[in-house]
Amino acid sequence: MNPIAVDPNNPGRISLAYRDLTELPADWDGKFDDITVLDLSHNNLTDFQFLQDFPYLNTLILDNNNLTNHVKFPRMKSLHTLWVNQNRITNLSSFIETVAKCFPNLKYFSMMNNEAAPSYFNGGTYQQYKDYRCYVISHLPSLLVLDDHAIDADEREEACKVYGNRRVSVSSKKVSKKHKEKVSNLAISPCLQMTVFPLFTRK
């Protein structure tokens, strides 16, 4: 296996991208306590319970893996940035409920090029795109940026009007029939390929 890529300017930034990993390498002797940014993009990961061993992780990049609606994460209060672009997420309500429970302090979140995230680029209408953003914003009240756009006061107010503050507690809450019907309309055709940028060029 190729050496683990470490950002020379910040040893807390680690890349295990492009490894065809299905799990974290068993022989990796890294100090998990020191890691704050972890890039696992372009692998074949489905189980992420190992993340519970990263107590100070604040940024997690999971672009181009095998994430589905039913992915399970440990609860991580330290995480503020999550990228899950170009995966196999098709059901918005199921996935966002998991994200809201596991990452309660999320500020930067991107799930572009998933079937559950409609946009002009993958065949979604403008109304579907707006509904998608409102739904995610209503569940993640700490969020500042969704995909490639910052959330302004007007958009946050609209999300509150449409869905209310839906922040999910650790104990599951039932979702209204009207709420489920609105979200079900967000499913669209498969997504197009996106451009993925190297970890250390991101800001």
Cα distance between residue 118 and residue 104, in whole Å: 24
**What would the two tokens of residue 155 be?**
């958009």
Residue 100 backbone dihedrals phi, psi, to 5 degrees: -65, -35
pLDDT score recorded for residue 11: 76
Tell me the per-residue pLDDT of 7-27, one tens digit each, with 9 for 90 and over.
677 779 999 999 999 988 876
Dihedral in degrees, nearest 10, Cα atoms 8, 57, 32, 3: -40
Q: What is the pLDDT of residue 33?
A: 84
In angstroms, rounded to a whole number, what is the distance separating the alpha carbons of residues 163 and 177? 12
Q: What is the structure's pLDDT at 175? A: 42
- In this predicted structure, what is the pLDDT of residue 3? 57
**pLDDT at residue 4, rounded to an integer:** 65
Q: How many CA atoms lie within 13 A of 170 on its CB side?
A: 4
So what's the pLDDT on residue 9? 72
pTM comes to 0.79
Residues of the chain by 3-state class (helix, strand, coil), percent to 5: 30, 10, 60
Length of the chain: 203
Reduced 3-state DSSP string for 110-174: ECCCCCCCCCHHHCCCHHHHHHHHHHHHHHCCCCCEECCEECCHHHHHHHHHHHCCCCCCCCCCC
Strand-pair category, 81-83 with 108-110: parallel
Which amino acid, residue 9?
N
Report pLDDT for 183.
Answer: 42
Question: For the chain, which ranges sit under pLDDT 70?
Answer: 1-7, 27, 29-31, 165-203
Nearest to 41 by CA among 10, 19, 59: 19
Residue 88, exposed/middle/buried by CB under 10 A (0-12, 13-18, 19+)? Answer: middle
**pLDDT confidence of residue 32:** 82
Reduced to 3 states (helix: H, G, I; strand: E, B; else coil), residue 14 is: strand
According to the model, what pLDDT value does residue 106 have?
98
How high is the pLDDT of residue 186? 43
